[in-house]
């Protein structure tokens, strides 16, 4: 995702752990949403990421058993959560909710969690998927879940690019 000129929002610096860029091994990224949470997995050695799953988010809370199953299966070294701030870097209501999710994820899993500025990840994901469809690389329609998974992949790929 491109740099949008505004620096890292203060909420992220406060939330994030300083040594997270040194993580090695498997990483899991989450694109938080109020209906769905896109999930991607990546590996620091290969510096690649792929969409993995979509977890439902009901009116009350995320599907924690599904998230815990993913974490148990992949044993990640670090978890990444997209932080959807405004274009000027200011927080939004979704920013607050994403950090709340990230904090709960940290508490429940005991794994390091880092929040990442992810302005426009969903629209960038949709653009990429539309281009793949236009080029004949994708035959099926583009579902909301696919967009969420792709957005999570972009969040993870951004972290991998910045860490290298």
Nearest to 154 by CA among 118, 112, 127, 115: 118
Q: State how far the Cα of 119 lies from the Cα of 64, in Å rounded to an integer.
A: 25
How does 125-135 read in b/e, with b if 16+ C-beta sit within 10 Å? bbebbeeeeee
Q: How far apart are CA 144 and CA 126, in angstroms?
A: 9
| Confidence tier at 41 by pLDDT (50, 70, 90) | very high
Q: Where are the domains of the chain?
A: 15-163
Label residue 102 by pLDDT band (50, 70, 90): very high
- 15-163 folds as Nucleotidyltransferase; domain 5 (3.30.420)
pLDDT in tens, 56-66: 998 889 999 99
Question: 8-32, pLDDT tens digit by residue?
Answer: 677 767 777 655 667 788 999 999 9
Q: Is the pTM of this model over 0.85?
A: no
Of 93, 110, 85, 94, the closest CA to residue 12 belongs to: 85
């Amino acid at each position: 995702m491109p740099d949008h000129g505004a620096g890292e929002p203060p909420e992220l610096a406060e939330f994030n752990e300083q040594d997270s860029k040194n993580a090695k091994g498997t990483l899991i990224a989450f694109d938080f949403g109020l209906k769905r949470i896109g999930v991607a997995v990546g590996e620091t050695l290969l510096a690649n990421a792929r969409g993995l799953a979509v977890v439902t988010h009901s009116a009350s809370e995320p599907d924690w058993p599904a998230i815990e199953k993913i974490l148990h299966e992949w044993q990640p070294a670090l978890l990444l959560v997209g932080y959807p701030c405004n274009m000027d870097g200011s927080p939004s209501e979704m920013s607050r909710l994403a950090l709340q999710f990230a904090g709960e994820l940290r508490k429940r899993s005991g794994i390091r969690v880092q929040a990442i500025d992810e302005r426009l990840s969903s629209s960038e994901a949709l653009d990429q998927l539309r281009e793949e469809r236009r080029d004949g690389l994708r035959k099926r329609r583009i579902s909301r879940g696919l967009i969420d998974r792709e957005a999570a992949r972009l969040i993870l790929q951004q972290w991998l690019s910045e860490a290298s």
